[in-house]
Amino acid sequence: MKIVETVKQIREEVARARKEGKKVGFVPTMGYLHEGHASLIQRAKAENEFVVVSIFVNPTQFGVGEDFETYPRDLERDSEIAEQAGANIIFHPTVGEMYPLGYRTYVDVEGITSKLCGASRPGHFRGVTTIVSKLFHMVKADRAYFGQKDAQQVAVIQQMVRDLNMDIEIVPCPIVREADGLAMSSRNTYLNPSERQAALILSQSLFEAQGMIDHGEHDAGKLGFWIKENIQTEPLAKIDYVEIVDAVTLEEIEEIKGDVLIALAVRIGKTRLIDNIRLEV
């Protein structure tokens, strides 16, 4: 497995693979890889002969006071995990390579980017859609793999691909969890032992909510209220949002019916965690 740092190199490597008739799968990440990322790479490898993994902590998707500087980075460990999972190449550009002096162009998806995470992280999705567009132009993959862990990101990217007629298939992949239910995240490394325990309130609330729906609860208002109350029983938890929405439009719903997304963002100490479940009711 190769690691390249420039746009020129990644273009050449992908062009060579294409010339050999290979389908190209792409997994964009910010690194500090875990089994969630590995599952995306494995899926990409199962469906494409050539798999590109990008590792880039993208400054434009971090707000002021967020964790851009402290975001965990470990390229050596990442390359082992990526190679093991089936990656053919890692694209690991510098910030200067992606945003050279005089950079001026941004991609903005309207509406669905201002809700949920977009409400508490203004500008976040503008950074995401900009970097993903740039990467799509560089990598020219047939398919790109995204985790349902970031459910809003999937919806926003799908909207962008539709709206801008991008010739790429977006493949959403299921959330990979720790044995006790916590959704895997590079940010889980920020948690101390008591916070790690407290963080279980996210998945536990979602699983119980799912059970209540299975037992016939269809009132989104009631269920949302119950989830909030339940999260508040954990002293270390501070709710950012709890939303029950249509999984495609992210519009709030009153009745739990159709393609439903229950999404939450909760601060455990200083760490902001997100989790969700998507259900067909």
CB of 149 to ligand AMP, least distance (A): 4
Among 10, 40, 85, 256, binds ligand AMP (CB under 6 A): 40
Q: Provide the minimum distance between the beta carbon of 125 and ligand AMP in the complex, in angstroms, as a whole number.
A: 13
Contact between 186 and ligand AMP per CB under 6 A? yes
Q: Is 50 in the site for ligand AMP (CB under 6 A)?
A: no
The residue number whose beta carbon is nearest to ligand AMP equals 147
Determine phi and psi for 238, rounding to 5 degrees: -130, 120
**Which residues, 219 to 248, sit near ligand AMP by CB under 6 A?**
none
The least distance separating ligand AMP from the CB of residue 275, rounded to whole angstroms, comes to 9
d(CA 265, CA 276): 9
Burial class (CB in 10 A: 0-12, 13-18, 19+), 167: exposed
- Shortest distance, position 278 Cβ to ligand AMP, whole Å: 12
Q: In the sheet where 259-268 sits, what is the strand order?
A: 237-246, 259-268, 271-280
Number of residues that bind ligand AMP (CB under 6 A): 17
Residue 134 · residue 109 · CB < 8 Å: no
Residues 151-180 that bind ligand AMP (CB under 6 A): 173, 175-176
In the complex with ligand AMP, the residue whose CB is nearer, 82 or 209, is: 82
Q: Is 183 in the site for ligand AMP (CB under 6 A)?
A: yes
169 vs 108: CA distance, rounded Å: 20
CA dist list (Å): 259 to 26, 81, 117, 280: 26, 33, 19, 5
CA distance 281 to 263: 16
Any contact of residue 185 with ligand AMP (CB under 6 A)?
A: yes
